[in-house]
Amino acid sequence: MIKFFVNLLDSIIPSQYQSKILLGLDIDLPGTGMVLVIIITLITGVLVSNFIGQKLLRLWEKTLNKIPGFRNIYSSIKQLSSTLLNSSNDSFKKAVLVEYPRSGMWTIAFQTGNYHGEVEEIIGEEIINIYVPTTPNPTSGFFIMMPKKDVIELEMSVDSAFKLIISTGVVAPD
């Protein structure tokens, strides 16, 4: 397994350049590609986390936001991704079970909030907001308002439910 990992990282940078870049030598040393990948990752992390890197990142995002048509897509994907991938965020209050897309078929969804507005008045029942993610990419999915009586709250954590969804049901919750 370790050999596979080292070979995989070594294959990222062609072997004729690995030793020259890292050591200034013209010999083939196994593992230099892995060292280079680690160094490049660390340098990228340092650049992005410091003041200059933050400025460059903001400039890049500003440039992307100037592209007509792409601006809306980029900002939506960025906002959804940050919501889904931010572990400190409690956007998803709990995992729930709902019949979707039709009666007799069940899927795991996430409660995103309680809605008490015009839709609830029209339907005449208590409504909750749910997000039904798609498998295996939970950044796409469906926002649905459902009557609270049609939603079954699960005892599994939101993290366990995500693991189940992303793994397409292969990884069972604890």
pLDDT digits (tens, 9 = 90+) for 107-122: 999 998 777 788 888 9
Beta bridge partners of 44: none
Q: What pTM value is reported for the model?
A: 0.52
- Across 167-174, average pLDDT: 78
40: confidence class by pLDDT, cuts 50, 70, 90: confident
For residues 42-71, give the mean pLDDT: 79
The least confident of 24-28, 104-108, 122-126, 168-172 is 24-28
pLDDT at 110: 93
What is the mean pLDDT of the segment spanning 129-134? 91
Report d(CA 133, CA 115) in Å as an integer: 19
**Of the candidate ranges 59-63, 86-90, 92-96, the one whose mean pLDDT is the lowest:** 86-90
CA 28/CA 111 separation, integer angstroms:
55
Q: Which fold has domain 94-166?
A: SH3 type barrels. (2.30.30)
pLDDT band at 92 (very low <50, low <70, confident <90, very high): confident
Which has more confidence, 68 or 31? 68
For residue 31, what pLDDT is reported?
A: 64
